[in-house]
Amino acid sequence: MCFDVCSLNAENFIQNVDFCGMKKVILLSTFLVFLSPLILVAQTDLGGWQSVQLKRSLSEDASASFKPIFRFNDQFSNYIDVFLDLDIRKNLDDGVWFNIRNRGILAPERKYNHWIFLDVGKTWTWSPKLSFSNQLRYHWGLKVNGFDDVDLLRYEPKIKYKITDALSAAVAWEGHYKVGEDHGYFRSRYSAGASYAITKRFGADLYLWLDDFSEFSGAQDIYLIITNLSYKL
């Protein structure tokens, strides 16, 4: 039951405002802010990555997850493929972590493909609400079934802000550099979004990505809506 606001002084109102559903208002407003740029990009290539994720703790400092990601483009009218991601993560001291991702790729009328991601990163906690992280990734495109995918070196700095105990927002940039004979800068990826802990086990993520190829290959920019529902086993 909500408190009678008129009967509260300013101090008591601030202490009890969460009981009147303000967290839900903040959550909804944050998601609407992140979705609003889509109005401006309706005439561009708009796609999406929709996923569900199962997480499990292996030890105090190690975890695993499995996440199928369904990908669409052409304003969600065309199904592309599904990524099958299996991650193993190890946390070390001082905010350092390692992660290995095996990504299987299944697509209609196309043979199976496979990538491996090798990640290392570090997080700095600037305050109880604000943190900064760096991640370096080697994106290894395996040569299977005739595929000749490029290998990439990817770097991503990210700033994360904790709005409430359950809700956080983040912005990031990621640069992709092709390695090998045909080396060179490939693309930039910009992202902004929010994560919400629905319960202790269920979580939800909503992000907007911009894949920018224009300065490097002349290809059209791609906007992506990223959604994920997660569950901790």
7 lies in some domain? no
CA 38 to CA 193: how far, in whole Å? 13
Which residues are CB-neighbours of 68 under 8 A, at least 6 positions away?
A: 51, 52, 82, 83, 84, 85
Element (DSSP H or E) covering residue 226: strand 222-232
Count of the separate structural domains present in the chain: 1
Q: Identify whether 13 is part of a domain.
A: no
Domain range for 204 is 21-232
Look up residue 183 and give its amino acid: H
pTM score > 0.75 for this model? yes
Distance CA 151, CA 171 (A): 25
Rounded to whole angstroms, the Cα distance separating 74 from 49 reads 13
Greatest extent of the chain over all pairs of C-alpha atoms, in Å = 72
What long-range pairs does 137-146 form, CB within 8 A, spacing at least 24? 139/115, 139/176, 140/115, 140/116, 141/115, 142/113, 142/114, 142/115, 142/116, 144/112, 144/113, 144/114, 145/111, 145/112, 145/113, 146/111
Instruction: Note whether residue 5 is domain-resident.
Output: no
* Per-residue tens of pLDDT for the chain, all 233 residues: 444 444 445 445 444 444 445 455 555 555 555 555 554 454 567 899 999 999 999 999 999 999 999 999 988 899 999 999 999 999 999 999 999 999 999 999 889 999 999 999 999 999 999 999 999 999 998 888 888 788 999 999 999 999 999 999 999 999 999 998 888 888 899 999 999 999 999 999 999 999 887 666 666 788 999 999 999 99
Task: Give the Cβ contact number of residue 230 at 10 Å.
Answer: 19
- Residue 58's CATH number: 2.40.160.40
pLDDT value of residue 216: 62
In a domain, 69, yes or no: yes
pLDDT at 44: 63
CB contact burial 16-55 (16+ within 10 A = b; e otherwise): eeeeeeebeebbeebbeebeeeeeeeeeeebbbbbbebeb
Is residue 204 situated within a structural domain? yes
